Amino acid sequence: MDFFEVIRTRQSIRAFQDRPVEPEKLQQILEAINRAPSAGNLQGYEVYLVTNRACLQALTKAAVGQDFIEQAPLALVFCAHPARSARRYGQRGTTLYCVQDATIGGAYAQLAVTALGLATAWVGAFNDDGVRAALGVGHDLRPVAILPIGYAAETPEHRSRRALVELVQRIE
């Protein structure tokens, strides 16, 4: 799929088929994430690949019951790792760069998912400690996004956007 077609096609999908994701496609998604830029190339985040059903259920619970998470065959959870970024960037690394790194990784994942004919939705509404408990990680990591991934079982309308003239403030 052409890059701009990927951009046009991507939309949040919140219902998944009972169909596994092929390992080769998953590998391509993970490699796309690993190519994402990051502050100082430190990659100040961790990616958790979750296929364990109990863990997916715990993630659903942590994400205020958004049950399409546990419906998906797998989820990627992006967690900022402040200490990795702090090594070079101090407080700016801790408060900003590691979250940006994790977010860019998640955005790359979303686009790779779409390009491969798969679907996802960005889940940001969750209890941080609930996600940590589901993953078995501590407060050294800050959960940023959960991306349940699978084959779409719905075809919603594309959601509208602000007009470009409203979004883009030109300084000429």
Ligand X SMILES: Cc1cc2nc3c(=O)[nH]c(=O)nc-3n(C[C@H](O)[C@H](O)[C@H](O)COP(=O)(O)O)c2cc1C
Site residues for ligand X per CB under 6 A: 11-12, 14, 66, 121-125, 159
Shortest reach from residue 128's CB to ligand X, in Å: 13
Q: Which of 35, 47, 65 is nearest to 149 (CA)?
A: 47
Q: Cβ-closest residue to ligand X?
A: 124
Strand partners for 145: 78
- Tell me the HSE value of 14 on the side-chain side, using a 13 A CA sphere: 9
- Considering the complex, state which of residue 79 and residue 86 has its C-beta at the smaller distance from ligand X: 79
Shortest reach from residue 1's CB to ligand X, in Å: 17
Shortest reach from residue 125's CB to ligand X, in Å: 3
Q: What tokens does 21 get?
A: 């994701």
Shortest reach from residue 12's CB to ligand X, in Å: 4
- Considering the complex, state which of residue 88 and residue 95 has its C-beta at the smaller distance from ligand X: 95
Instruction: Report the residue count for the chain.
Output: 172
- Considering the complex, state which of residue 12 and residue 71 has its C-beta at the smaller distance from ligand X: 12
Residue 147 backbone dihedrals phi, psi, to 5 degrees: -120, 100
**CA–CA gap between residue 146 and residue 106 (Å, rounded):** 9
